[in-house]
Amino acid sequence: MRKPGRKQRPSAEDRALWETVSKDIAPLKRRPKSSVAPTEPPPTVPKSTTGSKANAAQPVTPSRRPNPPDPPRLAPLDRRTRTRIAKGAVAIDGRIDLHGLTQASAHQRLRRFLEESQAAGAKLVLVITGKGRQDETRPMGEERGVLRRSVPSWLGSAELRGYIIGYEAAGRTHGGEGALYVRIRSRRKAG
C-alpha cells in the first residue's frame, strides 16, 4: 500500500507501455499569441470625500441603446372562425385590391391600408393579390403571381406585424388563392 504524499515510480512494464504509446504522438502546434492588447478594466468614479457607502466607486459603463422589442407573433385563424368568415357570418370590415400594381406601389398601399384599418377599429380585412397571369403572353423573365407570393412575406415582416394579428388564405367565395383574410390588431391606447 502506498503512503499518502509519496510519489510512486512507474514499473518497467508501465515505462515500456508508455514508450510504445508515446512514439506515435505528435505535439500540438502552438497558437500564435494575439496581437490585441488585453482589455483594461472600466474607469471608476473617484470616491467621495464624505465616505458614505452609497457614493462608493462604481464602474462607469458606456450607455447602450436598448434593443427594440420584438414585433408581435402572428397567429393563424382557427378553423371555426375561418369557416364563419367564408360563410359570411363574420363581417369583413374592409378590402384592398392590389391587382396590376408594381411591388413598390402595392407595398406602400398595403401599409397605408393597414394603418387606416387599424385606426378605424377594423377587425378583419380582405387583401386581394390576384392569382397572377394565366396566359403565356407575359414578357420574358416576368414571374407569375409576384404579389401573391410577396404579400405574405410583407405581412410577416416586422414593419407590418404591429398592425396585424395574423393572416390566412381566403375562402373560395372571397377569392381563394388570390386573396388573404387579415386580422387587424387593435390599436394600443397611448398614456
Give whole-number Cα distances, 155 to 74, 142, 175, 180, in Å: 9, 23, 18, 10
Classify residue 160: in a domain, yes or no: yes
Classify residue 151: in a domain, yes or no: yes
Classify residue 51: in a domain, yes or no: no
| Whole-model pTM over 0.85 | no
Classify residue 28: in a domain, yes or no: no
Classify residue 121: in a domain, yes or no: yes
Classify residue 30: in a domain, yes or no: no
Classify residue 38: in a domain, yes or no: no
Classify residue 168: in a domain, yes or no: yes
Separation CA 166–CA 138 (nearest Å): 32
Q: Which of 13-22, 35-44, 98-107, 160-169 has the least mean pLDDT?
A: 35-44
Instruction: Specify the CATH number for the domain of residue 151.
Output: 3.30.1370.110
Separation CA 122–CA 68 (nearest Å): 26
Q: Which residues contact 77 (CB under 8 A, 6 or more apart)?
A: 85, 166, 168, 181, 183
Whole domain around residue 171: which residue ranges? 79-132+144-184
Q: In the prediction, which pLDDT does 40 show?
A: 57
Closest CA to 94 of 71, 72, 121: 121
pLDDT digits (tens, 9 = 90+) for 44-87: 655 555 555 555 555 555 566 666 666 666 777 778 887 888 78
Domains in the chain: how many in total? 1
